[in-house]
Structure 1
Amino acid sequence: MAGIDLNSDLGESFGAWTLGDDAALLRLVTSANVACGFHAGDPATMLRTCRLAAERGVTVGAHVSYPDLAGFGRRSMDIDPADLYADTIYQIGAVRAVAETVGARLGYVKPHGALYNRIVSDPAQAAAVAHAARQTGLPLLGLPDSAIEAAAAEAGVRFWREGFLDRAYRDDGTLVPRSERGSVLTDPQAAAERSVDLARSGRVESLCVHGDSPSAVAMAEAALGALEGAGIEVRPFA
């Protein structure tokens, strides 16, 4: 039976501010990209999210970002690669320590937002992130045919390819910027159909639904049902 991972960006609440329905999504996904405090999240939120993930057998990933709480990590930054490497190591260490205390398994690193998009085409920043993953012994999750995939190969880091259920694509396989109309998809049926198409394509090992989307739970439910109905096992990639 074919298999695919279903992941979501979680743990993005901050203090008194709540974002997304992490508890509901953790009943559906197989991997959770947990915010590390740079774009969202705080120690208590990380702990709560990792604990729930452990209880439900969900693999935890370090969702590393630029230091951009005000912009939710969605503003590109010209950070020196040496500083980006240090920032990435720091964030991985934070989530790893929290995960270990509750019995959750840290299985991979997935960059967030503007950093994710920047390292699709920026070899220097991609190399910094790949080096951090190598030094912490973790694989990377990212966009296929990208600078970060090439940097991971150069660094000897396992790379898992990711597809998106709730984002529009350009013809070259990159994501349409969120600033453009139609870049974010919200229809559960469309998400379900895309999940099966991407899984059958064999080009990706994991499918993402963003936890901050108002229809995230509905899209994840629809995708899960469609995948299982197509005979595709939903299971962690890492």
Structure 2
Amino acid sequence: MSNENLIVKLFEIDKQAEYFFKNFRFDNGDELPLNYQEKYTLNASILNSIKLIQTNPILKSKLLKNKATGFWKKISIQVNLAKNGLNHNLPSNERRIKGSYISYLEQGYNSLISKRFGSQNSRKVDEKVLKLLEDIVKQFKSDSPTLIKLKLDSFLEGNIQVIDAESGGLYNNEDFKGLNISTGAIKNNHLSEKEIQQYDSYQLLKKEMYLSNNFYDCFSKLDIEIRIKLLEQFLSLVDLVKKK
């Protein structure tokens, strides 16, 4: 028992983290690669084990063997030993693992996503760009992401003109200077002819995804007793809605 790894013993896959990383989208619409979804879910689950140890006096005392200091030194040792079976990629030394843990408490699942992804992802497809893409779809009567990308690049280079369907005027490519979005971003953000007719529904779906991501991020920071109570209340409300 003295050599027991509490992190491994308490380890349990965080299903909310699994959902969060599976549904996470970068500003350009790209998903997290599958191997990173799995790795980040593992990391979140291990950090949850650390939180259980830190907040439970009995577990904390067992880790420290009734001493008052050395928490992060002991935790870093157990985190490193856990790599053999759990294959996570959390930091090795105690200062960095403590920093990762604090960031996780403050920022939730987002803190685990490598900043290098930010530099690899293209400019956000915002409402202004989305409207341009919609009008390209209308003008060239195609919802093919590849064709839309070709037409967009041609417009940005000044080779073709795109009509603003709302005003009847022409878009100025200077207003989109520096725009560089991938075919994948277009695929995830442009609207087909059919979807354009259902724009309000599309906006609702966008809002639903945004709220879902933020809900799971905030929800994960609450104590488990509070999470259970909230889920019970939520399911009761769902039942009431169904009956109506």
The verdict on a shared fold, with TM-score over 0.5 as the criterion, is no
Richer in helix (by share): 2
Richer in strand (by share): 1
Tell me the TM-score normalised to structure 2 length.
Answer: 0.26
Q: Which entry has the higher C-alpha Rg, 1 or 2?
A: 2
Structure with greater contact order relative to length (CA < 8 Å, sep ≥ 6): 1
